[in-house]
Structure 1
Amino acid sequence: MAHGDFVWCDLSTYRSDVTKGFYEAVIGWSYVRDWQSNGDPYFIASNRNRQQSGLFDMPAKYREIGLPSFWMSYIEVSDIEDTVARAEKLGGKIELKPTPFFKTSRIALIRDPLGAGFTVIEKPALPVRDNLASAGSMVWNALYVSNAAAVIPFYQALFGWISSVGDQSGRFAMKLAKRHISDVVELPEEIRGASQFWGVFIGVNDLTVARDAVEEMCGKILYETSEDRSVLIQDPDGAALFLRETGSAATVSEGQNVRETAGWKWKTLLALAILWIGVVFEVYLIWGILFLLWVIPALKSGKTYLVEPIKKLEHPVLYWALVSTWIVLSAVMIAYGLWPATS
């Protein structure tokens, strides 16, 4: 994972029992109750044995000011104190100062210069959003504003994102280390509403079926775009969420990431060649380096693989057992390669 990656989303709602039932019917999530650091309930939405999002009752201070229900995007940061300080200097507003989030993380709620809110999270122990994920997962995040130029410099300075030149539709692609990570989209108020907001996109298998379920469960269809198979819905408690049909180019924001990942995988080809050299010539040092190359992405992504995928968030003991094994094997192979046993 890296500073500036999207890693989680959750819903602040007034009627958790109603909204849980709504998303169970529309998306297929099931919920398990956990607890926030302050002792309040926090419901984890899951499907396919994967934790997908959170849901919790609106805090009292937001109820008092009449804040509507809302979906929140979480962005990983390397140093939350530094991020919060820089956000203030850049014209942002800190709604929630750094506070514990479960056992290992800390979060802070920030509003950008136009008022769109997002949460930053330090040490999330969460997987990076997968644009190609299956139904039920967060597949995209986009910022909808009245004036992109007023906020793009803020996000560039805060997260190191790089902006492309906007297209005719007022869409600006934001990249992190050459990855298309989000969009900033200018929309008129009659479509966007009065708020500036970060939109969360959840994948569904069939958009038509999902739309029908929304209406059957007393939700609303607010806006639909045919070109990327997405629809903006509103749940019975008033929170807005995008549904995007998976398995289409829309899942990766109009095919951008598909184009970026196409072509020769030279790193994989090089690693395969090195692997064969290690086997043919019995070079143990190469095996040590390859084990190390398995460790680094596992630590960054929070997932590893042995016969089947193992994710730190879902199976922490098994995950660390595997990663520790790779580290030990790497050290042994490197040591044996540098200082072979003498007969």
Structure 2
Amino acid sequence: MSFHGNPCWYELTTTQGKLDEAGAFYGRIFGWNVVDSGMEEFSYHLATIDRVPVAGLMNMPDDVSGMPPCWMIYFAVDDCDAFCRDATAKGASVHRPPSDIEGTGRFAILADPQGAAFGVLQPDMSQMSAEEIARAREGGGAFNQSRAGFGNWNELMSSDPEAAWDFYAPLLGWRKGDAMDMGEMGTYQLFRRDEADIGAMMGLADSPVPSWLAYFGVDGSVAAKVEEITAAGGAVLHGPIEVPGPAWVAVATDPQGAAFAVVGPEK
């Protein structure tokens, strides 16, 4: 089966020397169990809930140590190399060429024509158990809109949302969902894979550069989660506010400055 176009992984790159602190923060906020994956080349920590992998956490590489901490969203593709060829033909740049991760698959890191960074992963199906395949088929991987602590929404802030749509839609097989007029902020365009809305595209708003923003689901009150975030050393940039769904959302940064968002059913 194909998972092409589905959000499949969330990865935090944080300040060098702060990996354990970042893991402790997110463990407190989302209930993640964060452990060292045992990779020999560099420290890569895995976050799980009930033994289901949700996210990866790593130190900022030496060659980009001056970059601010950030979250990256990965999308599943059927053929990583072909995707990179097609994406560059449409104006993307490849920051990390296709590379293999033993037991996981083949991945690459790119930036869209407006500069927003994202990752793609070609899963190694031969390394997936029947349980993992069934879970992924049901939307039960790292992106799971029915469970707290998992990826719930994927939002692109772009300097040219229409051009961004023309880039991503044919490459990842997305279709447009509803569109909401946000006045001076432009249109908030939902996009879907199969019959499910999985994210949206909009103008830059308060973002200084084009970027993807990962939303993680929470149970209950978003306001209570905001209090947990600030008590743990994070900062709240926006919200809680009510959005169609209905749902409540808030945008925050972790203690090292990486932006993320939370979404839940109650204020």
Question: Per the alignment, do residues 17 and 171 of structure 1 end up closer, same or farther by CA in structure 2, a change over 3 Å counting?
Answer: same
Of 235-244 and 13-22, the range deviating more from structure 2 = 13-22
Check whether the contact 2:145–2:151 (CA below 8 A) recurs between aligned residues.
no
| 1:186 paired to 2:188 | no
Shift of 1:184: 0.8
Do the aligned residues in 1 keep the contact of 2:152 with 2:198 (CA within 8 Å)? Answer: no
Aligned residues: 242
Q: Residue in 2 aligned with 1:112?
A: 112
User: How far apart in 1 are the matches of 2:235 and 2:102?
Assistant: 33
Q: Residues of 1 paired with 2:83 and 2:108: CA distance?
A: 9
Could you tell me how far apart the structure 1 residues matched to 2:149 and 2:21 are?
A: 19
> Residues of 1 paired with 2:165 and 2:71: CA distance?
21
| Separation in 2, partners of 1:177, 1:226 | 26
- Name 2:51's counterpart in structure 1: 49
Alignment of 1:1-343 (within 5 A): 1-14=2-15, 15-36=18-39, 39-63=41-65, 66-123=66-123, 125=128, 127=136, 128=139, 130-164=143-177, 166-169=179-182, 170-188=187-205, 191-192=206-207, 194-205=208-219, 206-224=221-239, 225-227=241-243, 228-245=247-264, 247=265
- CA positional deviation for 1:212: 1.0
1:204 to partner: Cα distance: 1.4
- Greater alpha carbon shift after TM alignment, 83-92 vs 133-142: 133-142
Partner of 1:308: none
- What CA deviation, in whole Å up to 9, does each residue of 1:282-331 have, x standing for no partner? xxxxxxxxxxxxxxxxxxxxxxxxxxxxxxxxxxxxxxxxxxxxxxxxxx
Identity across the alignment (%): 25
The CA distance in 1 between the partners of 2:174 and 2:242, in whole Å, is 28
User: What secondary structure sits across from 1:167 in the alignment?
Assistant: strand
Work out whether residues 2 and 77 of structure 1, in 8 Å CA contact, stay in contact via their aligned partners in 2. Answer: yes
CA distance, structure 2, for counterparts of residue 244 and residue 216 of structure 1: 18
Structure 1 contact 131–140 (Cα < 8 Å) conserved = no
What's 1:281 paired with?
none
Contact 1:93 1:112 in 2 (8 A): yes
Cα offset, 1:2, TM superposition = 2.2
Whether contact under 8 Å (2:151, 2:214) holds in the other structure is yes
Q: In structure 2, how many angstroms separate the alpha carbons of the residues matched to 1:12 and 1:143?
A: 18
Shift of 1:136: 1.1
- Distance in 2, matches of 1:51 and 1:19, equals 17
TM-score (normalizing by structure 2): 0.84
Shift of 1:165: 6.7
Show the counterpart of 1:314.
none
User: Residue type of the partner of 1:62?
Assistant: V
Tell me how far 1:26 sits from its aligned partner.
Answer: 1.5
Ranges in structure 1 where 5+ consecutive residues have no aligned partner:
251-343
Per-residue deviation, 1:243: 0.9
TM-superposition CA deviations, 1:237-289 (whole Å, max 9, x none)? 110001111x57x9xxxxxxxxxxxxxxxxxxxxxxxxxxxxxxxxxxxxxxx
Deviations 1:80-119 (A, max 9, x none): 1100001100001100000122424111001001111110
Give structure 2 stretches of 5+ with no counterpart: none
Asked if the contact 1:10/1:55 (under 8 Å) is kept, the reply is yes
Q: Which has the higher helix share?
A: 1
Tell me which of the two structures has the higher relative contact order, counting C-alpha pairs closer than 8 angstroms and 6 or more residues apart.
Answer: 2
Offset at residue 164 of structure 1 (A) = 4.5
TM-score normalised according to structure 1 size: 0.66
> Who wins on radius of gyration, i.e. which is larger?
1
Distance 1:166 1:91 in 2: 25
Q: Kindly provide the amino acid, as one letter, of the partner of residue 208 in structure 1.
A: A
Q: Post-superposition shift, 1:33?
A: 1.0
User: Offset of 1:131 from its aligned partner?
Assistant: 4.5
Preserved CA contact (<8 Å) 1:141 1:182: yes
